[in-house]
Amino acid sequence: MNLLGKVFILLPLLVSQSVGIIRIPLHKTRSVRRALSDGLTFEELKSAAEAAWRSDPSPTPSIPVEKLTNFMDAQYYGVISIGTPPQPFKVLFDTGSSNLWVPSIHCSFLDIACWLHHRYNSKKSSTYVQNGTKFSIQYGRGSLSGFISQDTVTLAGLEVLGQQFGEAVKQPGLVFAAARFDGVLGMAYPAISVDQVKPVFDTIMAAKLLPKNIFSFYINRDVKSGVGGELMLGGADPQYYTGELHYLNVTRKAYWQIQMDTVEVGNTLTLCKTGCQAVVDTGTSLIVGPTHEIRALQRAIGAFPLLMGEYWIDCKRIPSLPVIAFNLGGKMFNLTGDDYVMKISKMGTTICLSGFMAMDIPPPAGPLWILGDVFIGRYYTVFDRDAERVGFAPSRKKRVE
């Protein structure tokens, strides 16, 4: 969906169709933003924060208005395959978009991002069907473009026949060149699919390949763990969460959009005072909100503005940081400082960054909050297409075998 360090590598599993939950292990990697900023030392980052704070302690650096899709902070990825025999691709499973695309063997020699990643070659697939319709997806100031093709897509042994997808021949800027993923597999609704291409999960639904038209995410944000989590197709696994799932109806069948009642920052600040819309997005690492509200939140938790929209927090302050509570359907979903502060280690030094970022999403899609992996990592999340709802329950640690 919209553009901090983790990757899902899907390990192919031999499974039967329509016989239960299909499990896709997730693995970790750095985000694009983290990779691009790694050229700076922590001392330089801290100096930038202090300089920004001295110049103006209230506003953050200028933040551009962007579309919802922005993969700078995407963290979790997995491996799918396309074609016969299978050609593997690392993809971002993104509930904030609906199209599947991967780099094409036909990309330009000048497209650095394309040549740094796996490329689909239709000539090597016996199940390829030509389409050729041109497509273009806008990302910030540039656009990703190419053409539509059709082939068999395989997810952990589950074959999705006749799936249309994009072969990208042009990828803009440094974002995709620095990304560890090859492409994106969108898991949002058909309404936002470019060129009305049927999303992969909708093709799965039409073919009745799963016992339930549900998928769920367990994300492990423990930086010391080598396990990234798991994507489950066809249901939810109670071994990953405690208590009962709390469901909210989808308010607009485009993104996985729900109603949020308020956001409480300790006992001192209330945001989203009259209610607001929120999107649950596995393609965004952070929790994102409107600029004026995120600025107020960052001030309330004592965060200093850094470069590229990030905020620095003194790691010693984590135990005393306020609880931030999200009121969803009358139930409070709490995040502590340990939940919403990210610890980044480099050369024996640790820096702590706020898990919140400002971004103004213009109408008609916005304004919106985005509940990304900082939230999903604390709360196991179920996406239910049968009942058109999203479910949350507190996550618990479980090793993915």
Distance between CA atoms of residues 2 and 97, nearest Å: 9
Rounded mean pLDDT, 287-309: 93
pLDDT band at 347 (very low <50, low <70, confident <90, very high): confident
CA distance 217 to 206: 22
Say what the pLDDT of residue 398 is. 61
Predicted pLDDT of residue 142 = 59
The yes-or-no answer on residue 281 being catalytic is yes
Name the pairing type of β-strands 369-371 and 287-289: antiparallel
* Peptide bond between residue 364 and the one before it cis (omega within 30 degrees of 0): yes
Q: Per the residue annotation, which of 151, 182, 281, 373 is the catalytic one?
A: 281
Residue 212 falls within a domain, yes or no? Answer: yes
Any idea which of 14-18, 195-199, 277-281, 396-400 has the lowest mean pLDDT?
14-18
Q: What are the tokens at 197?
A: 């291409």
Tell me, yes or no, whether 17 lies in a domain.
no
Q: Which whole number is the average pLDDT over 258-284?
A: 96
Let me know if residue 218 belongs to a domain: yes
The stretch 320-345 carries a mean pLDDT of 96
| pLDDT at 371 (0 to 100) | 97
Beta strands in 112-268 (DSSP E): 129-139, 142-155, 158-170, 183-186, 214-219, 229-233, 246-249, 252-253, 256-260, 262-265
Instruction: Look at residue 173 and tell me whether its pLDDT is greater than 90.
Output: no
Residue 13 in domain = no
- From the candidates 73, 94, 111, 182, give the one annotated as an active-site residue: 94
* Tokens encoding 301: 């938790």
pLDDT value at 387 more than 70: yes
pLDDT (0 to 100) of residue 377: 93
Give the amino acid at 56: D
Domain residue limits at 172: 22-394
Q: Is residue 145 part of a domain?
A: yes
The residue-averaged pLDDT of 207-231 equals 86
Compute the average pLDDT of residues 244-248: 98
Q: Is residue 400 part of a domain?
A: no
What residues have CB less than 8 Å from 54, skipping those under 6 apart? none
Is residue 151 annotated as part of the catalytic site, yes or no?
no
Total domains in the chain come to 1
84 belongs to a structural domain: yes
Work out the mean pLDDT of the chain and round it to a whole number.
84
Q: Which residue has the higher pLDDT, 27 or 106?
A: 106
The 10s digit of each residue's pLDDT in 57-105 is 333 333 322 233 445 545 678 899 999 999 999 998 999 999 999 999 9
In terms of pLDDT, which residue wins out, 14 or 234?
Answer: 234
What CATH code is carried by the domain that includes residue 376? 2.40.70.10
Classify the phi-psi angles of 303: left when phi > 0, otherwise alpha if psi is within -120 to 50, otherwise beta: beta
Residue 330, CB-side half-sphere exposure with 13 Å CA sphere: 1
Q: Which of 70-84, 177-191, 235-249 has the lowest mean pLDDT?
A: 70-84
State the pLDDT at residue 379. Answer: 98
Range 320-325 average pLDDT: 98
Long-range contacts from 297-301, C-beta under 8 angstroms, 24+ separation? 297/263, 297/265, 297/269, 297/271, 297/324, 297/356, 298/60, 298/354, 298/356, 299/58, 300/265, 300/266, 300/268, 300/269, 301/265, 301/337, 301/354
pLDDT for the residue 216: 97
Q: What is the pLDDT of residue 365?
A: 80
Contacting residues for 362 by C-beta, under 8 A, at least 6 apart: 65, 67
- What is the rounded distance in angstroms from the CA atom of residue 10 to the CA atom of residue 149? 23
Sequence-distant (≥ 6) Cβ neighbours of residue 239 within 8 angstroms: 398
Tokens 């971004």, residue? 359
Q: Which of 8, 6, 373, 7 is nearest to 155 (CA)?
A: 8
Q: Would you call 27 exposed, middle or buried from its count of C-beta atoms within 10 A (0-12, 13-18, 19+)?
A: buried
Average pLDDT over residues 27-54: 49
Question: Is 4 a domain residue?
Answer: no
List, in order, residues 6 or more apart from 96 with CB less than 8 Å away: 1, 2, 68, 69, 186, 188, 255, 256, 279, 281, 282, 283, 284, 370
Where residue 24 falls among pLDDT bands split at 50, 70, 90?
confident
H helices of 76-170, in order, are 112-115
pLDDT at 373 over 60: yes
**Cα–Cα distance measured from residue 312 to residue 341, given in angstroms and rounded to the nearest whole number:** 9
For the record, the structure tokens of 157 come out as 């042994």
Check residue 57 and give its pLDDT: 39
The pLDDT of residue 179:
80
Mean pLDDT, residues 233-242 taken together = 94
**Are the beta carbons of 307 and 45 closer than 8 angstroms?**
yes
Question: In the prediction, which pLDDT does 176 show?
Answer: 80
- Over residues 258-275, mean pLDDT: 97
- 279: three-class secondary structure by DSSP: strand
In this prediction, residue 143 has a pLDDT band, given cuts at 50, 70 and 90, of confident
